[in-house]
Every structure is written in C-alpha cells, then in structure tokens.
Structure 1
Amino acid sequence: MRTEHMALLTHDVLLLPEGRVELKVVEPANLRMVADVCKARCQLAVGMSRGTGSPPCYPLATQCRIIDFNQLEDDALSLVLEGVQRVKILSGAQQSDGGWMIRCLQCPNWQQEPIAGEFAIISQALAQFYEVNPALQELYPQLHLEDACWVSQRWLEVLPMYNRDKIKLLSQPDCHQTMAFVLQLIKSHGH
C-alpha cells in the first residue's frame, strides 16, 4: 500500500467517514495548513487529541474535506469538515511553525449494512438526539438512519466517552461491536 502525507488537525472531537463537524481554527500554524489544503498542496486529516506523543493524537485519524468555512469576528476560522477515509498514522513531523504533517496509510472504512431487529432502537434514539440538538442535525442534509455503519459512527462521534475507549471500538473490522455497545447503553438507561 502507498503511504500518503497529510496536514493534521488535532481536536477533542472525533470525526469519522460521512460525519460532519464544525471546528474553530485559531492557531496560525493550523490556519496556514488550512490555506495549504485549500490550495490543493496537501490533504487534511483530523485526529483525536492525546496530549502527548508525536504527533499528539491517537494513531487512527480521518482524512476529511472542507465543505464550508466562515471568518469569525475574532479573526478565527470556522470550518465545517466532512470525514472521507479512515487512516492509520505511521509517523508525524512538526513543522517550524508548530503545525503537524503525518505519513499515513488508508484503513478500510466500515461497510454499509442495514439496521435490523432490536438495533432499530439505536436509529430511533439517534433521530431523537438530533431533534434535541438541532445545531448538529443542521450539518447533515440527510440522515442515514437505515445504515448501521452510519448510525454507529455518529454515536461514536457524540457519546461522552474517553477517546481511548472510542479507539478500541474503531479498531474493530466492522460496526457490530459499536452497535452492541450503544444498544447496551440505551437499554441500561431505559430502566
């Protein structure tokens, strides 16, 4: 497999394929990297912050594309990113201005599959979650509540869990363990 070089944004949020997130970019190094991405000099990846390490994020990240941006009053930049492809970070190099470039390999994205049986409750709960969080729902022109992969990835993005626990679920070959985990959460809070 061929390795790729990408600019890296680290953040507390998790972004997965077909997911969307709005991030505020303030640091000059990150603003420069966003400019390089917009000029097609490199691709962009988002990784969950780990605080230490080189690079300072977990080894699984998501290649993404910028689908919208706005200049904020404080001169920061608001970016809406859409996840495209999972990547495994092989190495990272910090640039002179503090930004990070990574060398990575593409990882297989989870495959789409229909939600069936008792797992339908997970889709219903996600639809309710978006109803009470309209700012998140506005990021999506369409909700794919029939797709187990899409639903489980959106749950991983929003559940308040330790990042290391999210990484364990993401390391699985498909969405089945995540679906079982979310179903168990919903059942345990329903009683």
Structure 2
Amino acid sequence: MQLGLFPLPLFLLPGGVTQLRIFEPRYVRLVKESMADNRGFILAMKEGDAVCTFGTHVNIIDFETLPDGLLGVTIKGMARVKLSNIVQEKDGLWVGETESLPDWRSSQHQAGFLGEALAALFDAHPEHANQYSEDRHFDDLNWVCQRWLEVLPLANNQKQWFIAQNDLEEAKQFIDVLLNEENPVEE
C-alpha cells in the first residue's frame, strides 16, 4: 500500500503516542488525506536527504488548533513497516510503498525492573507521561521496551536496526545492560 511519509528525527513504535505541529502545506495535505479515509501515514526518519528504510504506521487519534494557530495532531503508532519505492511528489510530500512487519512476539517475561524504571521516568517527566494518561502497561515487556527505545538518545542507524528486529530480545538486553550500568546493583 502506498502511504504518505512524515520524515522527522522522531522515533515512535507501535503503542507510542506523540504530538505533532503541522504547518507546511504538504503535511496539511497529508493530515487531510489521512483523516479523510482513516488510513493514517508513516512516521519515518531521514538520514541526510534520504528517507530511512523502516518506519511506523501511525493513526491520528486527536487534533486541535494550537494557541499559535497551527494544527496540532496527536498520533499513535500502529505497526512497524518496511518502506520501498520512496519518491517525493511535486509539493515535496514523500510517499512510499509500505509492507507491514509482524508485531514483536510477546515475551513470557514480566517487565519487572525495566517497567519500574520506566514508571519512575514517567513520574519524573509528567509532560511525556500525560500522553499515556490511560494507556500505560508497565507490566508488558513489549510495551515497556518500545517506550524505552523511543526516549533513549540513539542514532538513526541504531533505531533502524531495532525497528527491523523480529522480536524484543535485542532491545530488552540492550536496555537492561544500559540501565544496570546507570544503576549498578550493590552486592
């Protein structure tokens, strides 16, 4: 399926929620088309002048007129996608063919420490936590790992690598090591 692309240095995975300010005419068009038939669009990253290979299919879940008169939209990640045949249209809007990737296989493990640390991070940053007012799953390891990957300061190639994985094991190990380096357990 061909969908419009919104290239940003923003990383969002399924279940993730964020807000965007829309002001360029090409993205106003993207939002209008997305809302007209509820097909959503792809949040993609750019590396230089090129759109990266993997992105996230998002849906608009809310919109508003911002105090500065711009359009504000709240989006939620629905599925990871692989992109191909990426082209830029006359008005500058990027479009590409999308192939949905399967959801990460559920883990049999509880989120434990990773979920508790994410809950503490949400408590420390209520402006971010407010986006998940009723949709928090600190016991779901998939959800927890995806939220950690969104907030960690990773390079685009690292984000692309994680989004391309078939399950959460690499992400879990990476986040676990990172958090344990920051907060070593005293023996």
**TM-score, structure 2 normalization:** 0.91
Matching residue of 2:68: 74
Matching residue of 1:133: 125
Q: Equivalents in 2 of 1:49, 1:138: separation in Å? A: 27
Unaligned runs of 5+ in 1: none
Mapping for residues 66-145 of structure 1, pairs under 5 Å: 66-116=60-110, 120-140=112-132, 141-145=134-138
Q: Equivalents in 2 of 1:180, 1:41: separation in Å? A: 36
Percent identity of paired positions between Structure 1 and Structure 2: 29
Amino acid at match of 1:64: V
* Aligned-residue RMSD, C-alpha: 1.5
Mean Cα deviation higher: 33-42 or 9-18: 33-42
Unaligned runs of 5+ in 2: none
Matching residue of 2:10: 13
- CA drift of 1:114 comes to 4.2
Q: Equivalents in 1 of 2:174, 2:139: separation in Å? A: 18
Q: Equivalents in 1 of 2:139, 2:130: separation in Å? A: 19
Q: Equivalents in 1 of 2:75, 2:39: separation in Å? A: 15
2:27 corresponds to 1:35 = no
- CA drift of 1:109 comes to 1.6
Matched-pair contact (CA < 8 Å) for 1:26–1:76: yes
Task: Pick closer, same or farther for the CA change 1:42–1:187 going to 2, 3 Å.
Answer: closer
Matched-pair contact (CA < 8 Å) for 1:112–1:150: no
2:22 corresponds to 1:25 = yes
Amino acid at match of 1:124: E
2:160 corresponds to 1:167 = yes
**TM-score, structure 1 normalization:** 0.90
Q: Equivalents in 1 of 2:131, 2:106: separation in Å? A: 20
Number of residue pairs aligned between Structure 1 and Structure 2: 183
